[in-house]
Amino acid sequence: MYVKNTSKEGREETHDRDTVTELQHKIRMQIEESRQLQLEISRGIQEQLELQRNLQMLVQEQSKQVNETNKAN
């Protein structure tokens, strides 16, 4: 048979358990927020890399055109 502990120690135990549960919830929320931020940063980096590749191709193409123009002169 279970007897509910309503003593001060029992209330403190319940409070401590509630505090731990609340902290665990906050930690889970912070972890999820961190994951979302990491995904956003990762997407931004991927976009930057794609832009860099495109710019590099443009620079190479322009360099090629300048070289061809110089050879023709």
Whether residue 63 is contained in a domain is answered as yes
- What's the structural domain count of the chain? 1
Whether residue 5 is contained in a domain is answered as no
pLDDT, position 34:
98
Model pTM above 0.85: no
Whether residue 57 is contained in a domain is answered as yes
Question: Residue 27: enclosing H or E segment and its boundaries?
Answer: helix 8-72
Q: How far is CA 61 from the centre of its chain?
A: 36
Whose tokens are 């889970």? That residue is 28
Whether residue 2 is contained in a domain is answered as no
Question: How far is the C-alpha of 51 from the C-alpha of 62, rounded, in Å?
Answer: 16
Question: How far is the C-alpha of 40 from the C-alpha of 24, rounded, in Å?
Answer: 24
Give 4's contacts (C-beta < 8 A, 6+ positions apart).
10
Residues of the domain holding 41: 10-73
Whether residue 4 is contained in a domain is answered as no
Whether residue 3 is contained in a domain is answered as no
Q: What is the pLDDT along the chain (73 residues), one digit of tens a residue?
A: 555 556 677 777 888 898 999 999 999 999 999 999 999 999 999 999 999 999 999 999 999 999 999 988 7
